[in-house]
Chain A
């Protein structure tokens, strides 16, 4: 088995300050034709260590301890004593770095061959489990796709993006029932499970659910799906077991829902970088669409809820009043209806926010010790003096 030499090597860097890292990044991009890309230590295939840095030797020892099979490229003025390091002499030349990369690939291929000889498959819920490499053109391209700034929706845009429901009367049991949805019936739940599995197995997995497959890259916490938001939304609001031959712009047929392992080296073509997105961003959107202004089954309207911490809203779809809802929800537990009343906003925004945060594992109902703990929330008045000023700042910031 050989490591695909058309794929960029994933490098983690050590012993460099931030300016050096930036310079090295540009060096890889401009002079090394993106043969190597910078990633986190956890995701790297090879460690690049500035041996001349203070404690350079300690860094090498530590890397060997944590990643005993990972090749190390050592950058230094003098030849290192250790024979097992791949040395690149300073000042670094592109040709020498590329030669080092070739040596790294040979080492990785040897390691893969050894691994496949020793490997035993104990997973019954995944087909053909093989650890694979990710096929990306360059880190900057992917992360441009993945790390887009949040889309901030006003009420009209929310309606187009998510849909909408009216406020419910909590004293009407029928309306209360309609305000709930069972996420287990929808794509959202399957994606959540597949993501959990990918992260726990630390393998790239593909979810097949009768529509376009969703590929999960747990190392980078990203997903790839060949679909735009319109198509995704159309599919995720349909109960999954009802999917038969719905045409949502791709080939689709009724099939058993399954998760498979992915061997990118066996696949033709590369992944369009613009279709990558972060796991959280996708799950958040799926939850917003699936919820459509409702709350997950099992969460009572009279039950106070918590928000562990603010979601990373700069990388998520920001629905109307999200910032206000988050600000209230991270405080004392309140029921969802109390939050809507206190902020004087339609319930659907609170319900949607809660459902999306719940999907990310950030929110949930609390168990209260007595019914006396929670008091009816009154509207939250803006502090008049500073409130006028803060309001004007908000207005200024929101002008595009």
Chain B
């Protein structure tokens, strides 16, 4: 019983054996069909792909004693770690083309991290945060200030790999900066949260949106910091280059040999950071604090009556969400080797929110899926599908230009037809469909079909 309650795979309805066998059979049939002729699917690689899917999904892993609970996650982690070795040998997907490259994979990992962080605020605690980009910005600027030549009048070196001793500016090890960015960002989260978390949901959303707009503007205008002549952020030109991380004398920018290439190093490190984020998120969810978040989300008044301290619990949600946003921002800045105020628009906040909502608010696996898919669309998918559309349908339609509109459609369609997301948590789904049959009768007529 305990293993069911604490099971990390918190998906509704996909657990029945019959369904699983059916899907497995379809996958195997597809694999066989692919072998006999579907050359368009890329020959052998598609068979391997389907077989691996079947191995993950079909066997009743959770009934294996002791290790069974971790089997699926373990296989997924192994596949993720070995991805750089086989991504270019995979089949091409119709319309979307090839699988994402390793450097796209790094961006995807960073955005999944942010989505998992935002999920703590939006999914667990139910506080709509429209300014998450502010935390990303703070993290990015922490990395930019303390690992670049921005403050050229000082010369502080501490643990930076591959930076000459006479290069001016702060050059602190990125590993330390990741931690520092996380803590600084969560402190800012507390500072923002303390006065505002008393507000009701939609007002809170507006206030966070306000912060998300103010901070980038400060970044844009602070090449002359409030008229003092102090160049804090280098204004719209941004801060570049930013040091890459490194260890044992291997700098991530150059890599080492043909095996430890730059993008592989960034990819694996990003994957480790993401695993850390997921681990923390899952443990937080199951902790006393996490249960308090969910209680607040479901009914604030009832939670307060049961003795949950509202302000403190909400502030913790803010701080934890911000922490991961800060780490992801700092890591991304180091990967791109640049930070521009133009990166921190409202669009990014909505982009990350869209990942959380598409995947399923509150369910970490859904959020990972949503984050991976949308970040892939943003980086490669839209451009690839756009070029497919223009060559095959002869439409002169620049798909990436309408990215935000596509995200708008996703938000709208998901909220209208499946508010619990594609891979919902059982509990969240129940909240959205609260009172399906036993709802109180509404006195006036609203279309309810489909709900």
A binds B: no
Hey, which bits of chain B sit against chain A, CB under 8 A?
Answer: none
